[in-house]
Structure 1
Amino acid sequence: MENVDVIALNSPEEFEAAAPDIEYLIALLPPRGLWEKAPNLKLIQIISTGVDSLLPAPDLSDDVKISNARGIHGTQMAEFALYFMLEFAKNGPRIRRQHKEHEFTMFNPVNLSGSTLGIIGLGAIGEALAERAKALGMRVIATQRTPKPNPHVEKVYPSEQTAKLVEQADYLVLVAPLTDETRGLFDADMIARMKPNAVMVNLSRGGIVDETAIAKALTEGAIKGAAIDVFEQEPLPSDHPLWGVPNTIITPHMAAADDAYIANITKIFAENITRINSGQPLINEVDRYRGY
């Protein structure tokens, strides 16, 4: 980026000191409550798809544009979701246990083909997953705030009909943004609608799922399993009850990561700086009132 001075800020205090000169900001966890200190700010580039780390921001001027990383996570997050589903379908824990114990006993895993995948949030990530899941022979259904036909999805439900999808899904993958509408969506009542053989995969945000309710369902055997990459509190404390819940895979909010991540989001940021100074529409501009 020519004619742009780049500085690294490692704390809210450092941001506050530099704020009067900042025009463009790229961040994962932007500082809250300090936006009035940055009168020259034009652009905030969030390096994740979700912008709940920034919004709501009542003290942020409406003149400041916001962009996210939508579109750069599709491949890696779809692959992570498929990996989690295959772990449960092929009983990865048993395979590893038998290897460790030198036990040569055959058993019958199940196929993803012919099973039903329910995707909560048919955005770029959901579409990437739907395409790959259909190629494996899965029946794919999804929810979307404003339903649109998709060649890889049999049925797209409006968000208010999430329960209809949940009741059908063998695998339930959450890739919706955290908004006022999705916060707490998967409470005890919604989780109770899941099939006894169903698996939940949460790659969205911890606030969408009631962690106490999902832990209870898993402990009681009400559902088959869960793979959880995101949590209400991160890092997940070492003494958190979820660590001890059976039939659970826990990963450290890494499903979106890959070796090209920083390069890809930096390209979007640089292009958006050019666009904002030439009056062009941004890549991935966020509607701050919708939250995505």
Structure 2
Amino acid sequence: MTEILVLRHKIHGMVADRYADALRERLPDTPVRLARTPDQERDLVTDATVVTGSSFAPALFDHAEDLELFASTYAGYDHLPLSEFRDNGIALTTASGVHGPNIAEYVLGAWLSMARGFLTARRQQRDRVWQSFQADDFAGSRVCVVGMGAIGTAVLDRLDGFDIETVGVRHSPEKGGPADEVYGYDDLHTALADARYVALACPLTEETNGLLDADVFRTLHAETVLVNVARGPVVETDALVSALRRNHIGGAVLDVTDPEPLPEDHPLWNFENVLITPHNAGHTPSYYDRLADIVAENVERARETGSWDGLRNQIDLH
């Protein structure tokens, strides 16, 4: 019989009990156990077919005798022991797609807030200043989304009705997507050249590490608003600071930074055209429900096929 073990973890302050309950609702005939201590993790992992959590301690491999699947509660997986999963024949899935709706709302909210001057309005309200200021139109602009996975696609899907031109950048541009134009990373400068609003929603890989460097900031329009919901190192921080100081971009909304957390004395805190949030765009009260849907679907699929392969959000470890 399949048994599921939920490891100790929290997602944006939400306790794992809610996740375990969501799994029980979807899989009423499957034992779902919640480990609350390291000792319980070591004891309960022995009989677990599926383990789910934000990380997997290497010491657990010695006890995971029946483990077939580790279902990560994060979309990213670079922090996990991938080679050990592969060597032990353990499948790996992620939470990809769980963040799509809420992070897409974050990106659109960020763009609209910058276009309509909400940061200026907030400063004036704080200082009790009644003074008209100029704003921009979001409609009629060119928007570029770098990364067309679940999050990037969700952003592009929500741009219908805004009367804008959309451009997407992805590793395999031949796959297309919900954008007026789709480019590969080799054509990044072309995709960004006339964009007034840019969102980074790509994974952090060797290809995307430092993707937005000083050369790219020279290509960006002086009024471009950059939103980063990918990973901090996708942007070269020194190059971003330099572009802001020289007034070479219109502003930035950063949910991720490099370094992270951002030190209190970092210059990024001091720009009036920069909004920083604490890696919080992924928060949604529906997180565990959406994640439980993915895990339950994969458990049911494995029951039907007799194989822990071909699963939703499965990572190719080979």
The TM-score, its normalising length taken from structure 1, stands at 0.87
Q: Give the match's secondary structure for 2:143.
A: strand
Aligned alpha-carbon RMSD (Å): 2.4
Number of residue-to-residue matches in the alignment: 285
Corresponding residue number in structure 2 for 1:60:
85
The answer to whether the Cα contact below 8 Å between 1:52 and 1:179 also exists between their aligned partners in 2 is no
Highest CA radius of gyration, 1 or 2?
2
Structure 1: state its 5+ residue gaps: none
Structure 1 position 262, deviation (Å)? 1.1
Structure 1 position 113, deviation (Å)? 0.6
Corresponding residue number in structure 1 for 2:74:
48
Q: Give the match's secondary structure for 2:158.
A: helix
Matches within 5 A, 1:83-162: 83-147=109-173, 148-150=175-177, 152-162=178-188
Confirm whether residue 287 of structure 1 aligns to residue 316 of structure 2.
Answer: yes
Q: Give the match's secondary structure for 1:135.
A: coil
Work out the CA distance in 2 between the residues paired with 1:240 and 1:17.
44
Q: Give the match's secondary structure for 2:80.
A: coil
Alpha-carbon spacing, 1:166–1:36, altered in 2? closer, same or farther (3 Å): same
The answer to whether the Cα contact below 8 Å between 2:217 and 2:248 also exists between their aligned partners in 1 is no
For residues 124-182 of structure 1, what are the alpha-carbon distances to aligned partners after superposition, in whole Å with 9 as ceiling and x for unaligned? Answer: 222221122242111100112222333x4111002222221122211110111112222
For residues 35-64 of structure 1, what are the alpha-carbon distances to aligned partners after superposition, in whole Å with 9 as ceiling and x for unaligned? Answer: 643343211212232222326x22222521
Work out the CA distance in 1 between the residues paired with 2:271 and 2:36.
38
Structure 1 position 93, deviation (Å)? 1.6
Structure 1 position 223, deviation (Å)? 1.0
Alpha-carbon spacing, 1:184–1:8, altered in 2? closer, same or farther (3 Å): farther
Alpha-carbon spacing, 1:233–1:98, altered in 2? closer, same or farther (3 Å): closer
Query: Which moved further from structure 2: 113-122 or 264-273?
Result: 264-273
Confirm whether residue 217 of structure 1 aligns to residue 243 of structure 2.
Answer: yes
Corresponding residue number in structure 1 for 2:10:
none
Structure 1 position 18, deviation (Å)? 5.2
Alpha-carbon spacing, 1:287–1:246, altered in 2? closer, same or farther (3 Å): farther
The TM-score, its normalising length taken from structure 2, stands at 0.80
Alpha-carbon spacing, 1:186–1:15, altered in 2? closer, same or farther (3 Å): farther
Structure 2: state its 5+ residue gaps: 1-26
Work out the CA distance in 1 between the residues paired with 2:60 and 2:303.
20
Work out the CA distance in 2 between the residues paired with 1:208 and 1:18.
38
For residues 5-57 of structure 1, what are the alpha-carbon distances to aligned partners after superposition, in whole Å with 9 as ceiling and x for unaligned? Answer: 4123566x8755655444322223x13544643343211212232222326x2
The answer to whether the Cα contact below 8 Å between 2:145 and 2:169 also exists between their aligned partners in 1 is yes
Confirm whether residue 7 of structure 1 aligns to residue 34 of structure 2.
Answer: yes
The answer to whether the Cα contact below 8 Å between 1:134 and 1:140 also exists between their aligned partners in 2 is no
